[in-house]
Amino acid sequence: MARENQSVVTEFIFQGLSSQPRTQTALFIVFLVFYLFTMLGNMTIITVIRADSQLQSPMYFFLANLSLIDICYTSASMPQMLVNLLTKKRTISFSGCATQMYFCLVFGTTECFLLGVMAYDRYKAICQPLLYPRAMCRKVCIHMVVASWTSSLLSSTVILMVTSQLPFCGPDILNHYFCEVLAVRALACTDTALVDLLIFVFSIFIIFIPFLLILTSYARILVVTLKIQAASVQSKVFSTCGSHLLVVALFYGTCICTYMKLKPRPPQDKDKVVAVFYTIVAPMLNPLIYSLRNKDMKCALRRAMRRPKSLFV
């Protein structure tokens, strides 16, 4: 993170979610269950989509990629947090913190872009059904996913490089449960106005623009759907899009509260609670939301359970 000749601090100490031993034990059990459920749920989604021939459409291609991102995103922070809940020494080196911060930025940013892509896919499928097969062909879908990853890698690299140049000369107590960029920036012993401005600008690109794309896509979908006379068709459209909107509301709502601030304040305890929702709760709920609110996914899961061996072929 900071160069050695710029700082007397050699490591950070996580303050974590609680300092009470009993509370830490309870949190460890809860978050371990969350983590295992996230891994199992998202791996099941990926495996079922890969194995079921009836789920080979752009929507499920993007969903499989979302599940992969959720696995990586959660794994970037939760193992360290679980270890810290069981140990008294909750430290991390500069390089370790930089690595964790970078991967959290990469996976979180990619999820922002991908959720926007998924909303655009639903807009094309519902509002332009005749053009949909060509507009969202396999090649185009792959390009969209690659563009999401590339944009994420580039923006995260810039944010990390700028943050890593800040001098850290104390204190070294990180008021968070992982190396979140705003919490790390708050420990710099220099004016961080330019860094704050950079993070805000990138937040517009990473969070606000995809969120605006999602709102626009669903506004168009709503207009088209309300013109349809058949109630069954309306019900199917709202059911298909409803699961995506639930994920968007949870993920973007908490991200906007955290990052869309021109002058971020020092991290507070409630900021850590908000972070739990977009780093832990949202990735855990994604498989549940998509499997329970999606008829095709539920049918595929039933077929997979009737043929358990097919999941591992």
Tokens of 62: 């993007």
DSSP string, 240-277: HHHHHHHHHHHHHHHHHHHH--SSPPPP-HHHHHHHHI
- Whether the per-residue pLDDT at 2 is higher than 50: the answer is no
pLDDT at residue number 209:
92
Q: What is the share, in percent, of the chain residues with pLDDT greater than 90?
A: 39
How high is the pLDDT of residue 8?
Answer: 65
Helix (H) or strand (E) holding 3: none
What are 68-80's pLDDT values in tens digits? 999 999 999 999 9
Tell me which of 47-51, 74-78, 101-105, 142-146 is least confident: 47-51
For the residues 30-57, what does the mean pLDDT come to? 89
In whole angstroms, what is the distance from residue 33 CA to residue 28 CA? 9
pLDDT digits (tens, 9 = 90+) for 85-109: 988 788 999 889 999 999 999 999 9
Q: Rounded to whole angstroms, how far apart are CA atoms 184 and 180?
A: 6
Of residues 304 and 227, more confidently modeled: 227
Going by DSSP bridges, is the β-strand pair 173-174/91-93 parallel, antiparallel, or unpaired? unpaired
Q: For the residues 6-34, what does the mean pLDDT come to?
A: 84
CATH superfamily of 9-312: Rhodopsin 7-helix transmembrane proteins (1.20.1070.10)
Per DSSP, 311 falls in state G
Q: What is the mean pLDDT of residues 236-254?
A: 78
Contacts of 64 (CB under 8 A, 6+ apart): 45, 46, 49, 50
Q: Which of 83-87, 212-216, 235-239 has the lowest mean pLDDT?
A: 235-239
User: Residue 166: which pLDDT band, with cuts at 50, 70 and 90?
Assistant: confident
Lowest-confidence pick of 195-204, 243-252, 285-294 = 285-294
The more confidently predicted of residues 163 and 300 is 163
